[in-house]
Structure formats: C-alpha cells, structure tokens
C-alpha cells in the first residue's frame, strides 16, 4: 500500500465471515476497517448456546465444512480451532442412519450395506455426472490444478447447463431414464452425502455441478465449540500489520464493538461514499465494502441507484434466496449410542425422512455432557411450512413425525432446557438463508462476482465493493464468503493504488487468465 493510504478508513457493512475476513486482511495491509453490524458478529455463522448448560450449542447457520474449502480452513487454522468429522447420514461419524421414505424404514450401520434401491440411485447419479458433465476429467483437472484444462471443460458446460434445472439433468440422464420415477424421488430425498437434494431441483444445474465438482458435499467437518468462534477469534486476533502497532486487532481498532447497522449509502463526492447508520450518524469513506445479502441494499439500506449500473442492480435484485429452518433440542445424554436390547439396533439414528423433519442430526458432546439433536433441518417449502410457528409448536410437530419412525423411543424423556429454532427468511437482517441460482442466472452471478475489477467502471460506480457467499459461485458455503472477501480486498488495495508482490499475485492480477466465461448479454 502506498504510504499516503496507510490508515485510510474503509467501511465494511456486515460482520459476518466475509466482512470480518476482509476487515482482518485490510487491517494487515495498514488500512483502517470500520465494521458496521446490525446484529451480532458472525452473521450466518451463529452458534447459539443452550441456556443452563456450558458450551452446548446449536449451529443455526453453517455447520458442516468440507475439507475442500481451503480458504475457509486457512482461517480456521489461523484461529486455532479444533474440528471433528460431521455426523452426516451414511458417514462413519454417525453410528447409524435411518432412511424413512413412504413409510418404509431402512436402518443402515456402516457404509457398505446400502439397500439395493439406494445403491442403484447412487450408481445412476455417478453415471449421469460422467455422461453429462465429463466429471472424471473435471475432477482430475481440479486435482492437478490444471487451470487451462479445467476452464476448457467448464466453459463448455456453462452454456449447456446454465439455463437448465438440476431436475432436468436428472430426468434427462440416460442412467436415470432406465430406472423408475421412484429412483428420482429417492435421489431427491436422500442425495448422496447430506440429503434433501430435491429442494435444489429447480436450481440451475451449474449450481449443483459446482458443489459436486469441488467436493463441497464430501468429507465435511464441524468446528468443535461452534463455528461462530471463527469470526470472533479473527476479530480479537492481533496479527503483524503494516502501519499499525503490535497488538492491534479489529477489536482494538473498534474500541470493543462494531458500529451500528447501516440505513443509507450514497455518493458524497467523486472520491467519497457516505455511510449513515441507524442513529443517523453519517461518515464519509473513500471505499466501502457491502457484505450483507444483496436484497438488503434495497430493503433495509437506502442505497443510491447511481452506485451500481442498472445491469448490476438487475443481478442484485434477481438474486434468489432459499429458505431454511432448523429446530434443535438439548437432551440429557447421547442416548443414540445405546443399543435397544430387543433389536440390537441403536436407539436413534441420523435420519433422513420424507416427513416434515427431512434431516435429523445427532451431536454428541461426550458421554458426560448433554447431547444436541437437530430435530429438523429443512429448506424451501419444508421450511415455509413451519415459518409462522413458535419453537414449541415446531418441536411438537417434529416429535410427532419422529414418533412414526421411532415408535419405541420416548424422546420427551430426554429433552432438557429450551428448544432453539431459526427461520432465516424471517430475519430482516438476512431475508433468506442463502442464494440458490435459478436457470439463466449465470450472467447475474458473473456481474456480481466480477465487480471487484473496477478499472473499467464509470467513476461514479467505483469505490463500493461487494462480497459474501451470495456474490460467490458457491452460495451456501462459507468458502464463497472467504473467496469473495479476498477478491474485494484485492479490489480495495488496487483502488488505493496498492499492488501485490509479483511473486504472489492476487485474483485481480490473474483475472484475464482465470476470469469466468463471459456469455453474450
Ligand atoms: C441454514 C444455513 C446453513 C448453512 N450451512 C452451511 C454449511 O454447512 N457449510 C458452509 O460452508 N456454509 C453453510 N452456510 C453458509 C454460511 O453460513 C455462509 O456462507 C456464511 O456465513 C456467509 O457469510 P457472509 O459474511 O457472506 O454473510 P453473512 O453471514 O450474512 O454476513 C452479513 C452480515 O451483514 C449484516 N448486516 C445485514 N444488514 C446490515 C446492515 N444494514 N448494516 C450492517 N450490517 C448488516 C448481517 O447481520 C450479517 O452479520 C449455511 C447458511 C445457512 C443460513
């Protein structure tokens, strides 16, 4: 960074992972990030503690983090956080799995005894990916870090699948056409890895291809003690920084708390943007980074239209957010590790169901501590079904559905403390859980993702940057929040006249070589 820019203020709207990572890196570069947060630091990384117990939490947002999320894990390691395998269905981290479809219950222990129907579905999915997406070659190129080959394969898939849905991909695949409708239904309910893929059936197939190609649904781990610790630890961490004295952290730069939520954004002059907080305090900044969900730029923040082109506004407003709800209870102990004396099966299992609950997950905090059950994790219409209901009403509904699957188990005997529930779409600071791009949204994604490259923008649109998983190509994954934050850091550094070490180029330096394919508008 040029000396003249050292200490310059950059407003950051949102103290979620994208905002905190960007703030942390900008601080290291010698700038002064000023974080505005309308709620609590962490955003959709929210680890809600159960009342009355120490360190027992419900992960209301991000909870399982694939090891392929290398930028995310860079910060997990830096923050010194411990991780453990996530107890997904059919994963060794789950003692057992139950799949309950149309009243038929499959009980599975270990990875190798999949019922024939599930095995056929799994094989069909593998064959469909190979035939429709050159999948083995795509993965080989990723593993070999062969960018040229990767782009050659991917760029051919973009026009083929941007405008077609995930369901279309499955239904038109030869491997699935040989099988029954029931196979497609089962695939939608179970998926492979995390369950519940039918909620994504209307999404663009490109969304799904990115998930499977980058192994986002595989080898997932949880953060012991809760992922909210990650943004909080980065907030408190004091790295070596240009310009700032030893011991400087985001916390010390902010005097212990972020600034309040933002309600207005406008251009104050050719080189300053005005940021107004909820109490009416207006401050001027040479650069602003907005990391809140993009709909909020028109709902809770009055944003001057001139800050973005109409084409970008189209993209920001057309962004489609998915709904999601989770309901948790704390239980006296991890009783799902005990076997039923009569059947010799575990008393309860990680459960995928076509009932209201959809996904039920079991979190073991050790033999002498309370356990946590996520009674239900659902998306889209399943999440909407419970939107107006209270926590107790939701718990009762879920217990009713689970009773049909586990008639012998009295879950109520195990529940302790108050339940915890969330519907992200019901929170005015989010309005949805995460982006899920619809067919035809590739161009919108590209406009948002590439906005950090500002040299060719008209002057009135420079100085305001975007980041967050909804700006990324991998919405619903924390990795997308980190990657877009780092892109924005490069953009802001460049905006202030800074440059990277040529031996360690940043995303903007390599942009011409690795930029996403441009489709004609
Ligand atoms: C239900 C659910 C499950 C998920 N599961 C996973 C998972 O298993 N694995 C995974 O990798 N990812 C998962 N994710 C995604 C992950 O949580 C996100 O990618 C990540 O937390 C996004 O970080 P962000 O900074 O982009 O956005 P956010 O966390 O949304 O941060 C934006 C911040 O802006 C703030 N804000 C909003 N309006 C204003 C305003 N006017 N002024 C100031 N601040 C404002 C918000 O309060 C928020 O803190 C999940 C998300 C949800 C909701």
Measured from the CA of 72, which atom of ligand 1 is nearest? 11
| Per-residue pLDDT at 114 | 84
Is the pLDDT at 511 greater than 80, yes or no?
Answer: yes
Q: Cβ(195) to ligand 1 under 6 A? A: no
Q: Cβ(65) to ligand 1 under 6 A? A: yes
- Please choose, from the candidates 345, 442, 324, the residue with its C-alpha nearest in 3D space to the C-alpha of residue 387: 324
CB 487 within 8 A of CB 467: yes
Which residue has the least CA distance to atom 17 on ligand 1? Answer: 62
| Token duo for residue 172 | 């038109």
Mean pLDDT of the chain: 96
Q: Cβ(495) to ligand 1 under 6 A? A: no
Q: Cβ(15) to ligand 1 under 6 A? A: yes
Measured from the CA of 64, which atom of ligand 1 is nearest? 8
| Token duo for residue 350 | 């990680």
What's the gap in Å between 50 CA and the centre of ligand 1?
A: 21
- Please choose, from the candidates 410, 283, 386, 308, the residue with its C-alpha nearest in 3D space to the C-alpha of residue 12: 283
Q: Cβ(208) to ligand 1 under 6 A? A: no
Q: Which residues contact 28 (CB under 8 A, 6 or more apart)?
A: 239, 240, 241, 242
- Please choose, from the candidates 324, 328, 332, 349, the residue with its C-alpha nearest in 3D space to the C-alpha of residue 394: 328
pTM comes to 0.98
Q: Which of 296, 297, 326, 478 to mutate to test the pocket of ligand 1 (most atoms within 8 A of CB)?
A: 478
Residues in the chain: 521
220-249 average pLDDT score: 98
What's the gap in Å between 292 CA and the centre of ligand 1?
A: 8
Pairing of strands 287-290, 464-466: parallel
CB 437 within 8 A of CB 475: yes
| Per-residue pLDDT at 111 | 63
Q: Which of 59, 61, 226, 259 to mutate to test the pocket of ligand 1 (most atoms within 8 A of CB)?
A: 61
Query: Distance between CA 337 and CA 45 in Å, rounded?
Result: 28
Task: State what percent of residues in the chain have pLDDT above 90.
Answer: 96
Is the pLDDT at 190 greater than 90, yes or no?
Answer: no
**Segment 417-469, tens digit of pLDDT:** 999 999 999 999 999 999 999 999 999 999 999 999 999 999 999 999 999 99
Task: Work out the end-to-end distance of the chain between its first and last CA atoms, rounded to an integer number of angstroms.
Answer: 36
What's the gap in Å between 69 CA and the centre of ligand 1?
A: 16
**Segment 268-324, tens digit of pLDDT:** 999 999 999 999 999 999 999 999 999 999 999 999 999 999 999 999 999 999 999
**Segment 483-502, tens digit of pLDDT:** 999 999 999 999 999 999 99
Is the pLDDT at 194 greater than 90, yes or no?
Answer: no
Pairing of strands 321-322, 302-303: unpaired
| Per-residue pLDDT at 193 | 67
Which residue has the least CA distance to atom 26 on ligand 1? Answer: 468
Q: Which residues contact 366 (CB under 8 A, 6 or more apart)?
A: 334
**Segment 54-100, tens digit of pLDDT:** 999 999 999 999 999 999 999 999 999 999 999 999 889 999 999 99
| Per-residue pLDDT at 196 | 79
DSSP state of 503: T
What's the gap in Å between 484 CA and the centre of ligand 1?
A: 13
DSSP state of 517: P
Q: Which of 207, 303, 322, 469 to mutate to test the pocket of ligand 1 (most atoms within 8 A of CB)?
A: 469
Measured from the CA of 326, which atom of ligand 1 is nearest? 1
Is the pLDDT at 113 greater than 90, yes or no?
Answer: no
**Segment 8-19, tens digit of pLDDT:** 999 999 999 999
Neighbours of 264 (CB within 10 A): 15
Q: DSSP characters for 356-397?
A: TTBEEEEE---TTS-EEEEEEEEEHHHHHHTTT--HHHHHHH
DSSP 3-state of 134: coil
Mind spelling out the 3-state secondary structure of 86-104?
Answer: CCCCCCCCCCCEEEEECCE
- Please choose, from the candidates 234, 236, 246, 208, the residue with its C-alpha nearest in 3D space to the C-alpha of residue 476: 208
Query: Distance between CA 75 and CA 77 in Å, rounded?
Result: 5
Which residue has the least CA distance to atom 23 on ligand 1? Answer: 17
Q: Cβ(39) to ligand 1 under 6 A? A: yes
| Per-residue pLDDT at 333 | 97
């Amino acid at each position: 960074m040029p000396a003249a820019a050292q200490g310059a203020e950059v407003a950051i709207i949102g103290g979620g992972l994208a905002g905190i990572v960007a703030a942390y890196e900008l601080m290291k570069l010698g700038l002064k990030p000023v974080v505005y947060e309308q709620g609590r630091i962490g955003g959709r990384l929210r680890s809600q503690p159960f009342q009355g117990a120490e360190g027992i939490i419900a992960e209301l947002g991000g909870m399982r983090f694939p090891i392929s999320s290398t930028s995310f894990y860079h910060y997990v390691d830096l923050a010194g956080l411990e991780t453990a395998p996530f107890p997904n269905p059919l994963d060794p981290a789950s003692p057992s799995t139950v799949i309950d479809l149309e009243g038929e219950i499959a009980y599975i222990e270990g990875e190798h005894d999949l019922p024939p129907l599930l095995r056929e579905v799994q094989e069909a999915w593998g064959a469909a990916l190979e035939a429709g997406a050159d999948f083995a070659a795509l993965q080989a190129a990723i593993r070999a870090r062969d960018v040229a080959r990767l782009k050659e394969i991917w760029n051919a898939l973009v026009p083929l699948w941007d405008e077609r849905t995930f369901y279309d991909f499955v239904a038109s695949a030869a491997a699935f056409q040989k099988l029954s409708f029931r196979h497609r239904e089962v695939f939608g309910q179970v998926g492979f890895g995390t369950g519940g893929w039918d909620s994504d059936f209307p999404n663009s197939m490109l969304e799904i291809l990115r998930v499977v190609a980058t192994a986002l649904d595989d080898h997932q781990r949880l953060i012991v003690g809760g992922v909210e610790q990650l943004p909080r630890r980065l907030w408190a961490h004091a790295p070596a920084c240009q310009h700032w004295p030893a011991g400087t952290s985001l916390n010390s730069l902010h005097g212990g708390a972020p600034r309040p939520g933002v309600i207005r954004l406008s251009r104050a002059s050719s080189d300053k943007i005005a940021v107004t907080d909820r109490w009416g305090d207006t401050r001027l900044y040479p650069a602003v980074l907005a990391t809140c969900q993009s709909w909020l730029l028109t709902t809770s923040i009055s944003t001057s239209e001139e800050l973005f082109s109409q084409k970008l506004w189209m993209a920001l407003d057309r962004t489609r957010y998915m709904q999601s709800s989770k309901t948790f209870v704390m239980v006296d102990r991890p009783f799902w590790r005990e076997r039923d004396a009569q059947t010799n099966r575990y008393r309860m299992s990680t459960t995928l169901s076509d009932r209201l609950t959809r996904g039920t997950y079991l979190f073991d905090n050790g033999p002498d501590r309370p356990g946590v059950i996520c009674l239900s994790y659902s998306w889209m219409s399943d999440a909407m079904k419970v939107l107006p209901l209270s926590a107790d009403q939701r718990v009762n509904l879920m217990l009713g559905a689970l009773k049909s699957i586990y008639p012998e188990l009295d879950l109520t005997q195990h529940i302790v403390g108050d339940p915890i529930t969330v519907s992200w779409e019901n929170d005015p600071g989010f309005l949805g859980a995460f982006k899920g791009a619809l067919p035809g949204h590739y161009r919108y994604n590209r406009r948002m993702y590439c906005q950090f490259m500002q040299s060719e923008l008209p002057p009135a649109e420079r100085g305001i940057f975007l980041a967050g998983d909804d700006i990324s190509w991998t919405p619903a994954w924390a990795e997308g929040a980190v990657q877009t934050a780092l892109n924005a850091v490069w953009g802001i550094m460049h905006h202030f006249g800074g440059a990277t070490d040529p031996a360690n180029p940043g995303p903007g330096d390599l942009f011409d070589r690795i930029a996403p394919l441009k489709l004609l508008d």
